[in-house]
Amino acid sequence: MCSQRTLFTLLAGGLFVAAATLTHAQIVKPKLELTPVVEPASAHAGGSVKATLKVHLPENVHVQSDKPRDPSLIPTVLKIDAPAGVTVGKITFPAPRDLTQAGQSQPLAVFGPDFTISVDLTLAANAAAGELKVPAHLRYQACDESVCYPPAKADAEWTLHVAAH
């Protein structure tokens, strides 16, 4: 037979496990999928390419735009680690959509669940023939109708093919 103290310890432990499980379930971030695309697939030294990053979020999930209306919100930011021989030009985010939420005086400017970011990349005139990898890092905060998840980062990489002259 269990003593009251043992029974209390078992109940308290069970509640702790249940609370920890519930807390963990609440902070599981939605899975974001990134698809890097380069057009044209091949370019000569001194040429340029359009790199796009296709972003897919689960249904009913969004991220704040790159320029949220409320400065306290976390913007979506794309950082590119251009290797030697690649220059990053204009980064173009799509037009955001308005999302009306209770308690907000103005609609939120958001992206999702699907959107594309475009980046102009230029190859140096002396870029060697072969493959160049261009890493990119997307920082975002995913939200749904009831909760915003902790900020996160997702990595992608474009592969540029520098054609021989």
| Each residue's pLDDT tens digit, 71-115 | 899 999 999 999 999 999 999 999 999 999 877 889 999 999 999
Q: Give the CA count within 13 Å in the CB-facing half-sphere of 141.
A: 15
| pLDDT value at 30 more than 80 | yes
Sign of CA dihedral 91, 114, 98, 63: negative
Q: Where are the alpha helices (DSSP H) in 2-147?
A: 4-26
Q: What's the Cα-to-Cα distance from 163 to each of 38, 44, 84, rounded to whole Å?
A: 14, 5, 16
Return d(Cα 91, Cα 70) in angstroms, integer: 22
Pick the more confident residue, 155 or 30: 155
- Segment 145-161 mean pLDDT: 93
| pLDDT value at 13 more than 50 | no
Q: What's the Cα-to-Cα distance from 110 to each of 60, 84, 143, rounded to whole Å?
A: 12, 34, 10
pTM of the entire predicted model: 0.81
